[in-house]
Structure 1
Amino acid sequence: MKAHIEERAIIIAKYILEKESTVRETAKTFGVSKSTVHKDVTERLSSINPSLAKKVKRILDKNKSERHIRGGMATKLKYKNNGKNVG
């Protein structure tokens, strides 16, 4: 694996741990696709730094379990900002 890809995977993983960031937020911050972030921290990182990969997996699992809440809040804000009344 190329050194810059390994380095990017570690940097992204540390960012996710520090900020408890979602894959989408992280991708936007680093200017890469969500697929790249996901592949870096789930596949590549496990062979580079398994202990870091486990820590990041916990954050990603937490984010995944909470995504329905964030989606609901985003929808609520969308309709609130459009002047529509949401429940």
Structure 2
Amino acid sequence: MVTTKHKDCTERLLQINPALAAEARKILDLNKSERHIRGGLATREKYLHMGQS
């Protein structure tokens, strides 16, 4: 899911600087594809630390 802010930014950037828009799109797509990995690691760390009280 792309947020409205990201969509607006990338669409406007495409009009202003297409090359930069392409780079931004690559970064946003990578972030989107890795988000579940980072979230899973953060959740695991949270529960590991909760058990060490």
Aligned to 2:23: 55
Q: Which runs of 5+ in 1 are unaligned?
A: 1-33
Paired with 1:43 and 1:80, the residues of 2 have a C-alpha distance of: 41
- For residue 66 of structure 1, the aligned residue among 18, 24, 34 is 34
- Which structure would you say has the larger Rg? 2
Across the two proteins, how many residue pairs are aligned to each other? Answer: 49
Spell out, residue by residue over 1:9-47, the C-alpha distance to the aligned partner (whole angstroms, 9 max, x if none): xxxxxxxxxxxxxxxxxxxxxxxxx643x122x211111
Please give the root-mean-square deviation of Cα atoms over the aligned residues, in Å: 1.8
TM-score (norm 1): 0.49
Deviation at 1:71, TM superposition (A): 1.2
TM-score by length of 2: 0.73
Q: Which residue matches 2:45?
A: 77
Please list every run of at least 4 consecutive aligned residues from structure 1 whose deviation after the TM superposition is greater than 3 angstroms: none
Q: What's the offset of the Cα at 1:74?
A: 1.1
SS in 2 for 1:53: helix
Q: Which has the higher helix share?
A: 2
Q: Percent identity?
A: 57
